[in-house]
Amino acid sequence: TQLLEQSPQFLSIQEGENLTVYCNSSSVFSSLQWYRQEPGEGPVLLVTVVTGGEVKKLKRLTFQFGDARKDSSLHITAAQPGDTGLYLCAGEVSYNTDKLIFGTGTRLQVFP
């Protein structure tokens, strides 16, 4: 069974702080995606990383895919209250299916 473990599970920080969320697995994924989900809504894709070692930046968010394509991290610089939400990593099992294995989720709360 392919599993994705995220840590931490909960994170409560002040505006302006930096944070890192980790997504780890013993399985290899063809790609890994990060989503953010807000209450009452479905997850919204933030980024897809495909190549081992790949680093992508989206404004204050930096995403990294591990060299072995088994793990990933999301780093947020100078967090803002608008970053509050549930962050989910999801691994794509193979190129022949849309099936995603979702991580356990990290609930982030940023206080002003």
DSSP string, 2-51: ---EEE-SEEEEETT--EEEEEE-SS--SEEEEEEE-TTS--EEEEEE-S
Q: Indicate which single residue of 18, 30, 51, 80 sits in contact with other proteins (rule: CB under 8 A).
A: 30
- What's the rounded Cα separation, in Å, for the pair 72 and 35? 13
- If one asks whether residue 10 binds other proteins (CB under 8 A), the answer comes out as no
Nearer to other proteins, 74 or 100 (CB): 100
Nearer to other proteins, 9 or 77 (CB): 9
- If one asks whether residue 95 binds other proteins (CB under 8 A), the answer comes out as yes
Nearest-approach distance from CB 58 to other proteins, in angstroms = 14
